[in-house]
Amino acid sequence: MNSYFSRFPFVRILLFWMLGILFSGSHYWLLLASPLLFFPSRIVKSIGISVLLIASSMAWTDYLKPLVSMPHSDAWVFQVEGQVEQKPKSWSVLARCLGTRNSSAIWSPSPGMYRLYMSNQIPRPRSGDVYEVCAGLKPFPAPLFPHEKDWRTYYALKGIGGSAFVSVDRIRLLRKGVEEKSFFEKAQGYFVRLLERAFEPGRDRDVAEAMLLGVKTKIDFETLSTYSALGAIHILSVSGLHVGLLYMGLSLIFGFLLKRRPVGPYVFFGLMMALLWCYAGISGFSLPVLRSAWMFSVILFAKTFLHKQESLNTLAFSAFVLLFIHPASLYDPGFQLSYLAVWGLIAFQQRWAKLIQFAGWFRWPLTQIWELTCVALAAQVLTWPLIVYYFHQLPHPVSFFLLNPFLILFSSIALFLGFLLLGIGSFLPEWAFQPLAYLLSTSFRLLHGLMFQWVERFTSVIPFLRISPLEILGYFMAIALLVWAPRRWKGYALVSLLFWQTPESKPAAYLSTLKGDAVWVEKSGRQSIVSLPVSVEPAWIQSHLSPLWSNEGVKDTLTRRWPLEGNIQWNYHGKHFAYVRLPTECKGQSYLILGKEIKYKNPFWLKSWRGATWYFLKKPSAYWMGILKPYLPVHYYFLDERPAIQL
């Protein structure tokens, strides 16, 4: 038993608890291993404890799994929950359903959580407001193309069953929530006004509000794209970096209390906890902030009251508690990246920083640059596979090694000055406030000047990268062998990392629809050609097609736009396709794609197409389907009701 709970007990417990979450829903035959607990052998008992822990995690995860429902109703009442997000044309709210009305005009309770997008012509909703809505809910769309993110599963894990857009004429306010702003909302508003004193209107102020207070609604698309291209998007949202810097700064200020025993450590712990969680509240209690605040709260407790602590064990304990409360967090990319980044810092940063020692006049700056580089490398060594898996890109190595240390330095300086301004700015006279405000605004100008100049002049990202879950698992196993295994195993791990190759994908083509227009994608090897409507937006391509290209190894893409009118024909691997928007006779084509422009009043021309396979880009009404019934072929499909068809 003692060997099982050895140096890192919660690391082992966490690993088995995560396995239970992954296997939840079945496999309860693992409980058959419970009698192993009663064997005298220590190894057998350890196996029994591990299996019992996995089974307990499976049962607990199934018990907490939310029930997702989709009410079929023309009207329903909901209450606004949590934070309200401002979108370009709407308010995004989490709605808790209180009741629905059926076709007989009878109201009945119908619990459920849904994501609503309310027209911004409606006054800004507040948490607790109750509305009546006359609009139907829709399930989240299924993925159109392979490898695309499954939003339906993602939201189902969060207990959110569907979504709807609500126009101003389809909603009525029944009861307002709490009129009085909370303490944290008032504090956030006060600090926003403080930043408005320090900055001129523009990008720097918008980013400062996002980085320091979690107010992200004002940031323009160009700024978001630049941060994303440089792999620094995490800087924009309050998360572990920000809470960690605040924790370090407060530790320096109040650290002397740890020596004032016996009362000092308790005062230190109370002050630190109060300030950390106040900051979490002021920045909106978002999930990344809550996760980071909890993580550092556990580290704070261990630092204050435990004479001997293992950082990995403390980190594993904080992750275990979060997964016990909300097992679905395991599937959250933010949770995965946050803990792996901190794990990498604990495991590798100090070890690598000691590899190179500088001497001479430039010892201090070179040492600082090397340590910042080690911080960036250590945070990336365990996170880059997941970044590739979720986002299909990585910062260019030149950008990473040359730019990243300076980004970390400048962003840390900006955050430090920002926290200092928020902390003491209210007490400073104007003659002292303005120099501090100038330093803060200058730090943001330097940061953004460096970032935007770099993006304009150099390649900042490597796009269309891919990695499979099996490859991620293999990478983590190889890293574990390199770090902790005996020396004879390290060579095998290094060889597996250097010579791992991903098999090339097979040629394929996909047919789908976007707002009644055809979408045609064909790929072969590293090349892909896509034909799209003229009105398609880059965000749609990024969301639906980039994951396909990345995971299939595509590096070279050619995008074409359909003509605004007329019929189009093409061949693919001996198959003849016709995209018909004006009635025409069949001329030997095997596949008919019926555009949204087609009118079915005189469908006689469709007789010649009965031998082809039909694809409706937009499903006709029941009436028109009745008219078309005599002409329908054996095989026909409605592309607006299904994922893309692979041909």
> What confidence category does residue 500 fall into, taking pLDDT thresholds of 50, 70 and 90?
low
> What confidence category does residue 513 fall into, taking pLDDT thresholds of 50, 70 and 90?
very high
The dihedral region occupied by 133, where left means phi > 0, alpha psi between -120 and 50, and beta the remainder, is beta
| pLDDT at 531 (0 to 100) | 92
Q: Per-residue pLDDT for 23 more than 50?
A: yes
The answer to whether 205 and 195 are in contact (CB under 8 A) is yes
* Rounded Cα gap, residues 223 and 231, in angstroms: 13
75-175 maps to CATH 2.60.40:
no
**H and E: helices and strands count for the chain:** 23, 19
| pLDDT at 303 (0 to 100) | 80
Report helix angle 264-282 to 183-198, nearest 10: 80
Mean pLDDT of the chain: 82
| ∠ Cα 336 342 346 (to 5°) | 140
Tokens for 100, please give them.
């629905």
| pLDDT at 182 (0 to 100) | 74
> What confidence category does residue 522 fall into, taking pLDDT thresholds of 50, 70 and 90?
very high
Window from 114-118, 296-300, 390-394, 563-567 with minimum mean pLDDT: 390-394
What sign does the CA torsion over 73, 89, 545, 577 have? positive
Q: What is the pLDDT of residues 99-108, one digit of tens each?
A: 887 766 677 7
Window from 86-95, 125-134, 356-365, 463-472 with minimum mean pLDDT: 356-365
| pLDDT at 3 (0 to 100) | 44
Tell which residue, 365, 226, 240, 224, has the closest CA to residue 296: 240
Pairing state between β 130-133 and 75-86? antiparallel
Tokens for 641, please give them.
């009701």
Q: Per-residue pLDDT for 5 more than 70?
A: no
**DSSP-derived 3-state class of residue 71:** coil
| pLDDT at 217 (0 to 100) | 65
Q: Which residue has the higher pLDDT, 366 or 178?
A: 366
Contacts of 141 (CB under 8 A, 6+ apart): 151, 152
The answer to whether 347 and 380 are in contact (CB under 8 A) is no
pLDDT (average), residues 355-375: 77
Q: Counting every residue, how long is the chain?
A: 647
Which residue, chain included where needed, has tokens 């090349």?
Answer: 527
pLDDT (average), residues 255-274: 86
> What confidence category does residue 1 fall into, taking pLDDT thresholds of 50, 70 and 90?
very low
> What confidence category does residue 345 fall into, taking pLDDT thresholds of 50, 70 and 90?
confident
pTM of the shown model: 0.77
Q: Which residues are paired to 205 by β-bridges?
A: none
The answer to whether 209 and 218 are in contact (CB under 8 A) is yes
pLDDT (average), residues 208-229: 76
> What confidence category does residue 158 fall into, taking pLDDT thresholds of 50, 70 and 90?
confident
**DSSP-derived 3-state class of residue 455:** helix
The share of the chain scoring above pLDDT 70, in percent, equals: 90
> What confidence category does residue 637 fall into, taking pLDDT thresholds of 50, 70 and 90?
very high
* Rounded Cα gap, residues 594 and 603, in angstroms: 12
Domain residue limits, the chain: 9-64, 75-175, 185-462, 469-499, 508-646
* Rounded Cα gap, residues 329 and 63, in angstroms: 15
Q: What is the pLDDT of residues 566-585, one digit of tens each?
A: 899 999 988 899 999 988 88
pLDDT (average), residues 628-643: 89
Burial class of residue 501 in the structure, from the number of CB atoms within 10 Å of its CB (0-12 exposed, 13-18 middle, 19+ buried): exposed
**Amino acid letter for position 122:** I
